[in-house]
Chains A and B, each alone.
Chain A
């Protein structure tokens, strides 16, 4: 079946540091890939997505590239801010008869001033 593996946290960085959160997936065919973010006490917000190989999703300074050869979708940001502190979820949607999301376990990011 489909699965998503993302690096375990927590990840603690200083403001303006470089961020990478690794995500790899297992799925047949060509899934769509997503990063969602969950701020404390809130629901999930879509951060970025990519729907085919070599696509780069980007939003709010975050980027991730769909790498089919390595089945990866790593999240990066060049300079994190305190306001980026949240839980980040990598997810995939396989399509077909339904588009349910399969999530990784989430990575807690804390950015200190």
Chain B
């Protein structure tokens, strides 16, 4: 158990809908990262938050957004969903020091039908 929790574990929704994925980092970790894992793109970095503020953006679509709350949990919002958004979405947390490893949650599997 990494100490990172994600809910829900599975999500099935229709095209055009909006969903929210939730992540709670390990105790003491200020950074939260979101990654998308798909068969064609592999593991792609989406966005990072550090202590409530956005720090870096990767290959995140404009239809996607995230935030980190004062209690450090984070939410990833996906809207106007398309079939191609079906993927595993992972959250990871870390202490941000060089060489500091990231600890991954179990992931949320999103299926868009």
A-B pair number, CB within 8 angstroms: 61
Are the C-beta atoms of B105 and A43 separated by less than 8 Å?
A: yes
Q: Does A51 contact B (CB under 8 A)?
A: yes
Which residues B17-46 have CB closer than 8 A to chain A?
Answer: 31, 33, 35, 42-43, 45
Q: Does A73 contact B (CB under 8 A)?
A: no
Are the C-beta atoms of B2 and A99 separated by less than 8 Å?
A: no
Within the assembled complex, what's the spacing in Å between the Cα atoms of A98 and B103? 15
Are the C-beta atoms of A99 and B96 separated by less than 8 Å?
A: yes
Q: Does B99 contact A (CB under 8 A)?
A: yes
Chain B interface, number of residues (Cβ within 8 angstroms): 27
CB-CB nearest in chain B for A103: B43
CB-CB nearest in chain B for A32: B99
What 0/1 pattern do residues 86 to 113 of A give for CB contact below 8 A with B?
A: 0001000101011111111110000000
Are the C-beta atoms of A106 and B42 separated by less than 8 Å?
A: yes
Q: A43-B90, A95-B98 are in contact. Are A100 and B33 (CB under 8 A)?
A: yes
Are the C-beta atoms of A46 and B56 separated by less than 8 Å?
A: no
